[in-house]
Amino acid sequence: MCKAPKEDEFRGAESTGSAKGMMAGANLFGLINAVLTCVVLGIVATRGGDTKKTTNNAADAHLDTPVWMKQAFLNSMKVDYGENPCIDSTGQAPLRADLGDIECEDAGAQSATDVTKGAAGDLDPALAPIVDYNDMGMCTVNVHWHIGAEHRSEGQYDENQSFDHPNKDTYAGSHRRLASADGGMNIGHMCKAGKDLWEANDPSVRNTDGSVNEYDWKYCKDMHVGLTYEFHWPHSSLGACQTPWQYQYHFLDGVLCGATMGNVDIGTASQLLMDKTHGIGVEGQVFTIVNGMGGEAIRPTWDVLNGWDRQAAKDVAYYQGSTTGDAVQSGANAGDMCRGTGNLVTWHVDRECHTLEASTMDEMCRRMLVISADDMSPDVIPHGARDTVVASLTDPAEDHPDYPGTRRLRGSN
């Protein structure tokens, strides 16, 4: 007979901070599967049905468990941590209203930029980019992704890598169709690696009949094999680091959490950023999703919630900019709107595109649903992509000094 787990077993399996690794998530998932097995068997027995399962052991029983039941159980396991300290009575960080979208001519340095080596950028923000997030006491406060790359890296992910993929219709109907046209999402740049795989009919992205070799997604929503996504890991020294509230949706609630808890006004917050008392940054990395490629695409040692795949990031640009998203434009046209966070955000961007197994991606989404006291479910769905910003609104990206493909490793001669 199945016994209910003790409360401390649930809490011991729970992953609540960026320092927690994949093992904690795996323990939690195993615990969920074991309990769900008991629940399902109990329901069958109560109904007088046949208790024999198509699976042969409890470890595999989750394969037959409906997704809605898994999610309901995940939600029921969450501990009540009380009120979210990162938001106010309006349901968001109060400083978000002070950082709203503004006309581009008043906006300061914007993102996403062209991070190609030598790409132009006409602005020189007063705030220098942060080299090392850890040295600034910054922790990861969110992870989310955009359909297509918002940044541009010539020959890796740029305007020349577009190709026909049937599941682009999920987002906007056609490549780079404006979000305002029909309420869809703006689609960013595809990867050359993804285009090459698709046009070669590689089995990791296409079936023999030419259709998409789609993955059976359990936790991520509206994701598709063969397409490119730019992943973002916002970091902040104002985050609720090493607490159950560290990870937040909306990401700005996490970025500004310390200011919310301290009732800090926008003037004080800006000064704290300008004098480097606190810092805000984002790691950006671009992946094409594959199914069954194996090898490095699985990325077995990567703690996907803590930040980007550092082992894969060999050619890294960094610069000062803003937040992104397809609610604002590139600044190329009169009347374009820009982010009010201009100049405030340090970006570390991997110039190369990589492949990522869909199963690894789905595990990332599963962990997002249990990692935080906040509800992260709105971020297991892709966001629209902002068009790459024009050079007149950008800080020129430089080679990051701490990655082997750029300048030198720290401590080397």
pLDDT, residue 170, reads: 76
The per-residue pLDDT for range 263-301, each reduced to its tens digit, is 999 999 988 888 888 999 999 999 999 999 999 999 999
The per-residue pLDDT for range 314-356, each reduced to its tens digit, is 999 999 999 999 999 999 999 999 999 999 999 999 999 999 9
Name the residue among 155, 248, 166 with its Cα closest to residue 207. 166
Say if pTM beats, i.e. exceeds, 0.85. no
Matching residue, tokens 């800006």: 270
pLDDT, residue 276, reads: 84
Hey, which bits of 139-204 come out as E strands?
Answer: 139-140, 144-147, 157-158, 190-191
Q: Output the tens digit of pLDDT for each of the chain's 413 residues.
A: 443 333 333 333 343 333 333 333 334 334 333 433 333 333 333 333 333 323 333 333 344 555 555 556 566 666 788 999 999 999 999 999 999 999 999 999 999 999 999 999 999 998 999 999 999 999 999 999 999 999 999 999 999 999 999 998 778 544 444 344 455 889 999 999 999 999 999 999 999 999 999 999 999 999 999 999 999 999 999 999 999 999 999 999 999 999 999 999 999 998 888 888 899 999 999 999 999 999 999 999 999 999 999 999 999 999 999 999 999 999 999 999 999 999 999 999 999 999 999 999 999 999 999 999 999 999 999 999 999 999 999 999 999 998 865 433 323 32
Residue type, 160: N
Checking 116-120 for CB contacts under 8 A at 24+ apart, the result is 116/152, 116/153, 116/154, 116/351, 117/317, 117/351, 117/399, 119/152, 119/154, 119/391, 119/396, 119/397, 120/391, 120/396
